[in-house]
Amino acid sequence: MNEVRTERVGSAMLITIDRPAARNAVNAAVAAELSAALDELEASPELRVGVLTGAGGTFSAGMDLKAALQGESPEIAGRGFGGLTEAELTKPLIAAVEGFAMGGGFEMALGCDLIVAAEDAKFGLPEVKRGLIAAGGGVVRLPERIPHHIAMEILLTGEPIDGVRAGSLGLANRVVPAGETAAVALQLAEQIALNAPLALAAVKKVVRSADRWAAQRTEIARLMISADVREGMTAFAERRAPQWTGR
């Protein structure tokens, strides 16, 4: 039985964690299958953007504690929790969050480039309640995304916030009624996919670089000799939509 489903929707890949009975908690199988889905997204030139969501009205409850107690790991070497949180993807990834995004579930959402949240979604990092810390990126990324003291409150109390609060803090790009996150995320994916794939990859590379100015110089030099830049300029001059080739 597959734990992760994929569906091609135009130029986007909709990736769904499909363990609703376990609130889409991440075990070894989910991590392996999610990692494979991301590899497929990266390898396919027809796919421009990924959308990650969960089945049954829940994004993910995080690590499957029962599986962990039996020795299973929810991590993929070099790629982090769920095969996602430390993966260096070149293509944009959008989290469509319904219901619970707790622990590693929240960290997977933080590992995405954009977040669409349901109004009643619950984002939390309860690891301290279990003697742990949010080591899948939570303690690293959250203080970079929102004000320090708010991040520390979430990390130190382990208490969740809802989707509306996430939106007000700037954690979510869109906050929508429950049941609409995947559709809105796919709309965002369509907007993103209109743009040059090499440029999108360059944006991601510069943003995650330790020396962003140096990375920016390298990436712009590569882009300026690409066929896509010439196509973008030509299309503008000819008042037509560009036809990207990714070269």
pLDDT at 213: 87
Tell me the percentage of the chain whose pLDDT exceeds 70: 100
Contact (CB, 8 A) for 73 and 67: no
pLDDT at 12: 98
Per residue in 125-173, pLDDT (tens digit) is 999 998 999 999 999 999 999 999 999 999 999 999 999 999 999 999 9
Tell me the percentage of the chain whose pLDDT exceeds 90: 91
Per residue in 208-229, pLDDT (tens digit) is 998 888 989 999 898 989 999 8
On average, the pLDDT of the chain sits at 95
CA angle 59, 47, 220 (to 5 degrees): 105
* Reported confidence tier of residue 1, pLDDT bands at 50, 70, 90: low
Per residue in 74-124, pLDDT (tens digit) is 999 999 999 999 999 999 999 999 999 999 999 999 999 999 999 999 999
Residues contacting 225, CB < 8 A, separation 6+: none
pLDDT at 57: 97
- In the chain, the amino acid numbered 218 is T
DSSP the chain: --SEEEEEETTEEEEEE--GGGTT-B-HHHHHHHHHHHHHHHH-TT--EEEEEEGGG-SB--B-HHHHHTT--SEETTTEETTTTT---SS-EEEEE-SEEETHHHHHHHTSSEEEEETT-EEE-GGGGGT---TTTHHHHHHHHS-HHHHHHHHHH---EEHHHHHHTTS-SEEE-TT-HHHHHHHHHHHHHTS-HHHHHHHHHHHT-SSHHHHHHHHHHHHHTSHHHHHHHHHHHTTS-------
State the average pLDDT over residues 199-206: 96
Q: Which residues are catalytic?
A: 107, 127
pLDDT at 8: 97
Which tokens in the block code for residue 123? 């984002």
Nearest to 28 by CA among 60, 71, 59, 58: 71
pLDDT at 6: 98
* Reported confidence tier of residue 13, pLDDT bands at 50, 70, 90: very high
